[in-house]
Amino acid sequence: MLEGSGRSAAAKILSRIGSEETDQCIIGSGMIPALVAALQGSDAGSAHFALGRLASREILRNCIVSCNAVKSLVAMLDGPHVNQVTATLGWLSENEVAVAEIFNLNVVPALVKLLENNECGISALNILGRVCEKEAAARAEVIQLNAIPAVLRLTDKRPFDVLEFLYALAQDDACRQTLIAADAVSKLAEIQKNEATRDWATNVLKLFS
């Protein structure tokens, strides 16, 4: 079994190949459970990097989730590897089981706080958007934590991610009222002027009419 930086290098190379054959090779090698276990050790940085690479592949992402990686990653959101942790959790949040785990671990407040982080705010936004899409309680919690202003400040950086988040929140009447009070509709109207984001912004605005 590869150890330390060797695991990271192998994961980087294999994930770039991105074929079903190499996916099965990675799964069969036992690399993923070894990397998840390494999150708790001195080589955590290399393990984070490798898992982030592998998580971009759906079948490998599902395997990472099944190895109970979410709980370990969430526990590290306030640690030195927070940027890589949020990036990996962003990939894993495309898995519905992972979304439920993230919500059940009561991590919404930590993610809201990270919205102000220049390095990992976008990853935190993506995770929150997927959790809010599935969990009404998460939408209510985001509103209670006054996260909307921080989200709207990210519009210029990643308008599509902000739109996805606002669409998730606007499913609820109470959330829509809070979004209106936070001037989200005006921000959506600005985004609508851009041809690249016009259709998405229009769809979100329809929820307010």
User: What is the Cα–Cα distance from 46 to 28, expressed in whole angstroms?
Assistant: 20
DSSP labels, 9-57: HHHHHHHHH--HHHHHHHHHHTHHHHHHHHTTSTTHHHHHHHHHHHTTS
Q: What is the pLDDT of residue 80?
A: 86
DSSP alpha helix (H) spans, 105-172: 108-114, 121-134, 136-144, 148-152, 159-169
**Lowest-pLDDT choice from 8-17, 40-49, 112-121, 169-178:** 8-17
Report pLDDT digits (tens) over 91-104: 999 999 999 999 99
- When the pLDDT of each residue in the chain is averaged and rounded to a whole number, the result is 90
Report pLDDT digits (tens) over 51-77: 998 999 999 999 999 999 999 999 999
Counting every residue written for the chain, the total comes to 209
Report pLDDT digits (tens) over 3-33: 555 556 656 655 565 678 888 988 998 999 9
Q: Which CATH architecture has domain 1-105?
A: Alpha Horseshoe (1.25)
Q: How would residue 79 be classed by pLDDT, with cut points 50, 70 and 90?
A: confident
Q: Which two tokens stand for residue 208?
A: 């307010």
User: Please, which residues have CB within 8 angstroms of residue 196's CB and are 6 or more apart in sequence?
Assistant: none
Domain boundaries, the chain: 1-105, 107-208
Question: What is the pTM for the complete model shown?
Answer: 0.88
Fold match, 1-105 / 107-208: yes
Topology, domain 107-208: Leucine-rich Repeat Variant (1.25.10)
